[in-house]
Copies of this chain bind each other. A is one copy, B any other.
Amino acid sequence: MEVSGKICLHETDAALYQEKEGTYIMDNFTFYAPTYFVFGKDTENETGKYVKKFGGSRVLLHYGGGSAVRSGLLDRVKKSLDKEGLAYVELGGVKPNPRSGLVYEGIDLCRKEKADFILAIGGGSTIDSAKAIAAGAIYDGDFWDYYQGKIVEEALPLGTITTISAAGSEGSPDSVITKEEGMYKRSTTGEALRPKFTIMNPALTETLPPYQTACGITDIIAHLYERYLTNTKEVEVTDRMIEGLLLTMIHEGPRVIADPHNYEARANIMWAGMMAHNNSCGVGRTQDWTSHDIEHELSAEYDCAHGAGLAVVMPAVFTYNLKHNVMRFAQAAVRVWGCEMNFENPEETAKAGIEALRRFLKSIGMPGSLKELGAKEEDIEKMAHTACYGDVRTGTLGGFVELKQKDVENIYRLML
């Protein structure tokens, strides 16, 4: 399952909010998203042209399991590289929740073969692994430094051929890797990690099993909610964009689960997935990322699919945080989930929206409890501790509500 998630380290995350003359104002921000997107049927046959355009001559082809081989995709890509006279070496074997071991292998291979361009063929896991290799290959120290808080300022150029709509990594500067020692799942960011180009052919996602498709849909929904849950007031434009993208997912998600060969539905989901995470709908506002942080412990511990983990985590987090801002959850309920506003009791509406999300996720085949993920009650304390104190953490998490270990434990218990 090549479904991966990002936590977001944009500038806007740092400040919870600015208080100015008694009101909240939109945060100052910068936005720079210079990836060249090539979208549509058969576009993978142009890969060589774009590698050349962005300066590659010796390419590391990085991919996951056998599906890129079996489907003939890898052969088509190689053919297009051959056509442009480009050299390449291969490194397959990326697993979901990609590991540091393969990253070290990729770094060594790049150096040995003098690769000057990394091409990721796959979903978020493959792209994230490729990003780690791109940064590590030209860094003197241990690449893991970047996942301990160091910003990536230099990396080999990188292109992607996206085969799963989910992570948004194809248009983002972020990467999430799990370190095998300690099983820490951590993220990094840096403009140098943004892919130079991304090839998006929705037809390539048609061969995914429905469960993986549903995991991707869930991840995209989570990227939108993580931005929606903000303490910044008066951010109508990004609210409305997020709501529009959520409505798209609610419309297209069930259609693609019902008919995997619905190209239009897959195309809409693919573009929504990119827009959900390139941060054009997250600028100028604080963001949450609690659900991602809490989920990362589950996928690190039980190796479950990130999207499946998020399906269990989100309703619990939202229920726990509901009273922090009832009207925000009510707004989502009304505008996104079509709930009637209960003007006498907005909390009822807010809850109805969370219930609608829960039903939707169940309807596309996602799990609803820790048990379904294979997670155990006795691990809760440990996971909550790692989420709050592990590695670079300092005791709390959450951009929307500041949560301590006890809160996180309570949230995990809501998932039982």
Contact = CB atoms under 8 A, between A and B. Distances in A.
Interface in A22-77: 23, 25-41, 43
A271 B38 contact: no
Contacts of A29: 37, 39-40
Interface stretch (A211-219, A238-246, A361-369): A238-246
Contact of A271 (B25, B252, B272, B284): B284
11 contacts: A26-B267, A28-B43, A31-B39, A33-B33, A33-B34, A34-B34, A40-B284, A234-B268, A236-B247, A237-B271, A241-B275
A97 B148 CA distance: 53
Given A31-B39, A237-B275, A240-B245, 6 more contacts: A29-B39, A31-B36, A236-B248, A237-B269, A241-B245, A275-B280
Contacts of A38: 30
A121 interface: no
Contacts of A26: 40, 202, 263-264, 267-268
A233 interface: yes
Given A240-B247, A280-B280, A31 B37 contact: yes
Contacts of A280: 275, 280
A275 B35 CA distance: 16
A198 to B, nearest CB: 10
A25 B272 contact: no
A350 to B, nearest CB: 21
A230 to B, nearest CB: 13
A164 interface: no
A250 to B, nearest CB: 10
A202 B283 CA distance: 14
A235 interface: yes
A25 B236 contact: no
Interface in A320-359: none
A265 B237 CA distance: 9
B241 A237 contact: no
Interface string A277-290: 00010011000000
Contacts of A34: 32-34
Contacts of A25: 263-264, 267
| 10 closest cross-chain pairs (CB), A and B | A28-B40, A34-B34, A244-B244, A240-B244, A234-B264, A31-B37, A237-B268, A26-B267, A32-B36, A237-B248
A251 interface: yes
Interface residues of A, number: 47
A252 B236 CA distance: 8
Among A29, A32, A33, A244, residue most surrounded by chain B Cβ atoms (within 10 Å): A244
A280 to B, nearest CB: 7
A314 B240 CA distance: 23
A254 to B, nearest CB: 12
B39 A32 contact: no
Contacts of A272: 237
Nearest to A243: B244
A284 B39 contact: yes
A252 B234 CA distance: 10
A175 to B, nearest CB: 21
Contacts of A41: 28
A284 B37 CA distance: 12
B245 A237 contact: yes
B39 A268 contact: no
B244 A241 contact: yes
Contacts of A264: 23, 25-26, 233-235
A83 to B, nearest CB: 19
A162 to B, nearest CB: 14
Given A26-B264, A244-B244, A264-B233, A271 B238 contact: yes
Nearest to A194: B34
A38 B41 CA distance: 35
